[in-house]
Amino acid sequence: MQLFTRITLIQNVKPLFRGLLIGLAIPLAALCLAACTGNSPANLGVSDSGLAPCPSSPNCVSSDAQDNNHRIAPLQLAAPATEAWQAAREQVAELPRTHIVSEAPGYLHAECRSALLGFIDDLELNLRPSEGIIAIRSAARLGYSDFGVNRERVEALRAALLSRGIAR
């Protein structure tokens, strides 16, 4: 009798777990689809005041930001501007899960996808030869926090350019 009760219990639990898995899979799939379909923000690019300001959320860093939470140092040029710009472009193209979306003289916009859910971050570079810098901005399109991913991306780019003698 005890064996029959155990088998019946196991057979009744299987549909419960299946239902739970399906219940979790559907919202997760919807979240992934939403992450992949985020539209490019309308305020990207360079204006008279520089790159777009960061939102109040902590998922953005910019060398043009005035507050310490969003502020990150620009890339200081250690090579001629045209050489540094080409090297920066090459390094951006080599970042994992990143593709360059648009370019104009002195401006580059790339999209960077997260490894797990495919969330899109926007990475922008703006060459300012008269200041001897490349201004930089990296921001998540969705969500509130990015767990420091955008800051890490910019610092990895800086480190790569430092190792090549392009930035200081």
Name beta bridge partners: 60.
Answer: 139
pLDDT score for 39? 85
pLDDT score for 16? 58
Alpha carbon dihedral 41, 42, 44, 50, in 10-degree steps, equals -130
Q: How many CA atoms lie within 13 A of 67 on its CB side?
A: 10
Written as tens digits, the pLDDT of the chain (168 aa) is 566 666 665 676 666 566 655 666 565 554 554 545 478 888 899 998 899 999 999 999 999 999 999 999 999 999 999 999 999 999 999 999 999 999 999 999 999 999 888 999 999 999 999 999 999 999 999 999 999 999 999 999 999 999 999 999
pTM: 0.78
pLDDT score for 38? 74
Cα 44 to its chain centre, rounded Å, is: 14
